[in-house]
Amino acid sequence: MRTDVQVYFGTNRNQFRANNSQAKIYVDKIAFGSDLSGFDGQALRFGKAAVSFSDDFVGAVTQVNVAAEDVLPSSANSRPRVGSREIYDELRRAALSSPENIIVVLHGYANSFESGLTGAAELGGLLDRPNVFTFCWPSGEIAVGLNYGHARKMARTSGDAIGRAFDILLRMLGTLRDEDRCHRKVDIIAHSMGNYALRQAVQRMKPHLETPAGNRLFDDLLLVAADDDNDTLERDDGIAPLLPHVRAATVYYSRWDLALQYSDRVKFNPDRLGQYGPRNLSVISEKVVAVDVTETLDQDDDILINHWYHRSPNSRTVLADMKRTLEFRGADPADPSHFPNRKKLDTGPRRYRLMPA
């Protein structure tokens, strides 16, 4: 039996006309590649996609609808069409029928447009969150060393586009009448280099975060296997400016994350947040909790499994803890009735080790 999941998306990837075989999926004949969109990646498109999962939870994109953009209609009788408003409004209406928050997923390095959609839909399904939005930035489609530096450059450039996508959402929700609001907040889940892209987006969002409309729109922030510096939550030029605008932030990290070891040792990036956790929790917001998942993983597993542990069937303990984090909002992170597999560490405040189930 196959299960269909809908995921909403924004992207700053280059668009092109779908060929005959692609047209079966891309119903508007618009497909997306691996490069930046026009205006150095600032041109945004929005849409929705259907992802079908088989019994063994292998997903495939079966349909992509790209929202129309017609901000300068040719006819005086025509109204402008703005894709972002159309998609965000549909997402809002979907959230009206669900008690769950909206989750925004920022994928990491080496994702095609379709794998970004599939991964977000899969994560939404695993977390029992039906209202999923993902931003598909051009992250490089093959995980080889030569692509890594280019993907980091794409993440830096894409941060502005991601920040604009957030800004549009914030402005739209801020102008809704109370009766039109879905009264759901937004959870952000960033994986791998998606955390570095989020860092760039936060810098773009700074002016908006200082306004009332930006106050506490976001609920939970989950930073998973983050390919960013371990002091990013301390720095004004990092993710730190976002912390006053979230309810809580959880960092999941693993010493056995070989992909991040590569980033650290081969690419000469500083200590990675996703490998060692925050550098110094005592100097950052008390909203931040760090969870070491190393003990739940198998050191002999494939390098990708130990980097994608939040979606791996071999590490369901991590997934269960993420679900509880999103479910038990405001709960004591050390409460064993809510987080039975966490063990408090003596190495600093708000640090926990996740033990195998």
Q: How confident is the model at residue 145 (pLDDT cuts 50, 70, 90)?
A: low
| CA dist., res. 318 & res. 225, Å (int) | 12
pLDDT at position 109: 92
Task: Reply yes or no on whether the pLDDT at 255 is more than 70.
Answer: yes
Model pTM?
A: 0.93
The CATH architecture that domain 3-331 belongs to is 3-Layer(aba) Sandwich (3.40)
Q: How confident is the model at residue 347 (pLDDT cuts 50, 70, 90)?
A: confident
What percentage of the chain carries pLDDT values higher than 90? 59
Average pLDDT, the chain: 87
What percentage of the chain carries pLDDT values higher than 70? 87
Task: Reply yes or no on whether the pLDDT at 176 is more than 60.
Answer: no
Q: What is the pLDDT of residues 298-315, one digit of tens each?
A: 876 665 678 889 887 667
Q: 174 or 94, which is more confident?
A: 94
pLDDT at position 50: 96
Mean pLDDT of 74-97: 81
Q: 236 or 100, which is more confident?
A: 236
Q: What is the pLDDT of residues 7-51, one digit of tens each?
A: 999 999 999 999 988 989 999 999 999 999 999 999 999 999 999
Q: Is 178 exposed, middle or buried (0-12, 13-18, 19+ CB in 10 A)?
A: exposed
Q: How confident is the model at residue 177 (pLDDT cuts 50, 70, 90)?
A: low
pLDDT at position 1: 45
pLDDT at position 239: 97
Q: How confident is the model at residue 174 (pLDDT cuts 50, 70, 90)?
A: low
pLDDT at position 227: 95
Task: Reply yes or no on whether the pLDDT at 2 is more than 60.
Answer: no
Nearest residue to 274 via CA among 256, 247, 299: 256
pLDDT at position 211: 64
Mean pLDDT of 291-298: 92
